[in-house]
Amino acid sequence: MRELKIYNTLKAEKEVFKPITEGFIGMYVCGPTVYDNIHLGNVRTFISFDMIYRYLLHLGYKVRYVRNITDAGHLTDHNTEDKITTKARLEQLEPMEVVQKYTVDFHEVLKQYNLLPPSIEPTATGHIVEQIEAIQTILESGIAYVVNGSVYFDVLKYNETENYGILSKQVIEYGIENTRELDGQSDKKNPQDFALWKKAEENHIQRWNSPWSVGFPGWHLECTVMSTKYLGSQFDIHGGGMDLKFPHHECEIAQAQVCNHKTPVNYWMHTNMLNLNGKKMSKSTGNSILPSEIYTGTNPLLSKTYSPSVSRFFMMQAHYSSILDLSDSALLSAEKGFLKLMNAIETLEQISAADISTYDVNALEEKCYAAMSDDFNTPILIAHLFDGVRIINSLKSGKESLNISDLEQLKTIFNIFVTDILGFISHKESNGNDLTNNIMELVLQLRGNAKKSGDFDTADLIRNELDKVGVQIKDGREGSSWEVK
């Protein structure tokens, strides 16, 4: 199998990837908390991991991809209530209605962006029993304590024998004098401690029985429990957004370390943020844009609508680990580039083979694999694909030629990288309609006749009127063609 390099946040360097079991990969990615519509920044993370998943599959690995849905336990800021519960109260819904509503939204959006579904999509509320068992284990190890029906993880005690901060490189602060505002109400021994179980207040709707209180699990615990359950106590890849690195992933490592006595994950991958107006998109600050606003064009920042494929292309033009800034002009240029790429693929279907090849298709394929195998470098891949686009257009005009096997190989390359790995789909499916094709053939023929007889008024009329309804005429050396814009 081809060598693959992955930037491992845990080691802070690029490493050659070696799965625990040859040919198999266990991958866990933190999913959304379904208390609201996901915004485009959330989508970026899932698209990045979709691309990663697709490439791993393409390389021939059997991948078990687990991506959770957080439907309980995610606390709001400075509050004892969780996000789902808060939303349920605001919308006067059952918590599970909130969960259902936004889970459906999540899935619909990801479908628009052509994401493959994960192998398993577990929920926090479906694993309450496992979470309670894990808390018991941690309590028995003496790394957690019970206060007023809630259970907290003792970070300082853990840090005596283990390294809390191994992932985020944070150095925990001993002593409370360094902390900013210590919440007087808090049951915690230290502000760094985090909740494993919270006792439910009277008005808290989501609640389960436990040995300590009627309450609900802490946010960090679900990922530990579910990744362990489905991928084992040690697995290959754990991913998530950069903003989850600390404290969420740090806490996951600590919990798993106490429960299973081994480091849970070999490769930690963190995808970077999508910025809007120079700042991270965020639900809580309102600096965000919804996927639906992109394809309906309802956001004031956008001059027009953009298809999901265009925004997917826009994201793939940046490396997953870089911050990416969204703007109308960036989407506009992405759209042009995307159409150029997709048009070339259509053109490729019309190319006929020649006797000799004037271009090294093998070298192109090698470059594409090299780019992807170097920490999933999609911008470099796309640069190479545009090299292929240039060749395709030259093939059409006769400046380059390919023999039959090279031509087939070029088609395969585009199929693999554009469709299978980058996950782009042409949004011009309507071009394939037989009726439309036949009518357009006639129209082009009539216009061609008009041109031949010098009737350019008619020729231009046809071209202009078609342009108004979104069809572009392209006159080439060997005749005219058309496409839906």
Partner RNA sequence: GGUAUCGUGGCCGAGUGGCUAGGCAGUGGUCUGCAAAACCAUCUACAGCAGUUCGAAUCUGCUCGAUACCUCCA
Residues in 385-404 at the binding interface with RNA, rule: CB under 7 A: 386-387, 389-390, 393-394, 396-397, 399
**Which residue's CB is nearer to RNA, number 19 or number 65?**
65
State phi, psi for 121 to the nearest 5 degrees.
Answer: -130, 80
Measured from the CB of residue 407, what is the shortest distance to RNA in angstroms? Answer: 17
Cis peptide before 95 (omega within 30 of 0): no
Measured from the CB of residue 480, what is the shortest distance to RNA in angstroms? Answer: 8
Measured from the CB of residue 398, what is the shortest distance to RNA in angstroms? Answer: 10
Q: Does 2 bind RNA (CB under 7 A)?
A: no
Residues in 176-205 at the binding interface with RNA, rule: CB under 7 A: 180, 191-192
Number of residues that bind RNA (CB under 7 A): 91
Q: Does 117 bind RNA (CB under 7 A)?
A: no
**Which residue's CB is nearer to RNA, number 44 or number 64?**
44
Residues in 355-374 at the binding interface with RNA, rule: CB under 7 A: 374
Contacts of 443 (CB under 8 A, 6+ apart): 462, 466
Both tokens of 439, joined, read 């009518």
Q: Does 11 bind RNA (CB under 7 A)?
A: no
Q: Does 60 bind RNA (CB under 7 A)?
A: no
Both tokens of 147, joined, read 């206060």
Residue from 142, 379, 398, 479 binding RNA (CB under 7 A): 379
Residue from 44, 54, 204, 312 binding RNA (CB under 7 A): 44
Q: Is 170 exposed, middle or buried (0-12, 13-18, 19+ CB in 10 A)?
A: middle
Measured from the CB of residue 368, what is the shortest distance to RNA in angstroms? Answer: 12
Measure CA 106 to chain center: 12
Task: Pick the closest to residue 407 from 425, 389, 395 (CA basis).
Answer: 395
Residue from 25, 27, 45, 254 binding RNA (CB under 7 A): 45
CA 15 – CA 26 distance, rounded (Å) = 17
Q: Does 169 bind RNA (CB under 7 A)?
A: yes
Measured from the CB of residue 393, what is the shortest distance to RNA in angstroms? Answer: 3
First to last CA, the chain: 41
Residue from 25, 28, 42, 80 binding RNA (CB under 7 A): 42
Residues in 411-440 at the binding interface with RNA, rule: CB under 7 A: none
Task: Pick the closest to residue 267 from 13, 66, 30 (CA basis).
Answer: 13
Q: Does 150 bind RNA (CB under 7 A)?
A: no
In which element (H, E) is residue 241 found?
strand 235-241
The Cβ of residue 267 has, within 10 Å, a number of other Cβ atoms equal to 21
Contact segment (CB under 7 A) with RNA among 20-28, 32-40, 198-206, 301-309 equals 32-40
Residues in 287-346 at the binding interface with RNA, rule: CB under 7 A: 288, 317-319, 322-325, 327, 329-330, 332-334, 336-337, 340, 343
CA 47 – CA 30 distance, rounded (Å) = 13
Contacts of 391 (CB under 8 A, 6+ apart): 359, 364, 400, 410
Residues in 236-255 at the binding interface with RNA, rule: CB under 7 A: 240-248
Q: Does 166 bind RNA (CB under 7 A)?
A: no
Both tokens of 447, joined, read 């216009």
Measured from the CB of residue 420, what is the shortest distance to RNA in angstroms? Answer: 20
- β-strand partners of 353: none
Measure CA 401 to chain center: 38
Q: At what angle do helices 456-468 and 434-452 cross, to 10 degrees?
A: 150
| Helices assigned H by DSSP within 195-274 | 219-231, 250-260
Q: Is 392 helix (H, G, I), strand (E, B) or coil?
A: helix
Measured from the CB of residue 437, what is the shortest distance to RNA in angstroms? Answer: 19
Contacts of 238 (CB under 8 A, 6+ apart): 27, 28, 29, 227, 249, 252, 264, 265, 267, 268, 269
**Which residue's CB is nearer to RNA, number 100 or number 377?**
377
In which element (H, E) is residue 436 found?
helix 434-452
**Which residue's CB is nearer to RNA, number 64 or number 67?**
67
**Which residue's CB is nearer to RNA, number 62 or number 279?**
279
Contact segment (CB under 7 A) with RNA among 31-39, 94-102, 226-234, 435-443 equals 31-39
**Which residue's CB is nearer to RNA, number 19 or number 482?**
482
Contact segment (CB under 7 A) with RNA among 102-110, 147-155, 278-286, 349-357 equals 278-286
Q: Return the CA Rg of the chain.
A: 27
**Which residue's CB is nearer to RNA, number 208 or number 246?**
246
Interface map 435-454 toward RNA (x if CB under 7 A) = ----------------x---
**Which residue's CB is nearer to RNA, number 135 or number 316?**
316
Task: Pick the closest to residue 96 from 230, 215, 207, 198 (CA basis).
Answer: 207
Q: Does 75 bind RNA (CB under 7 A)?
A: yes
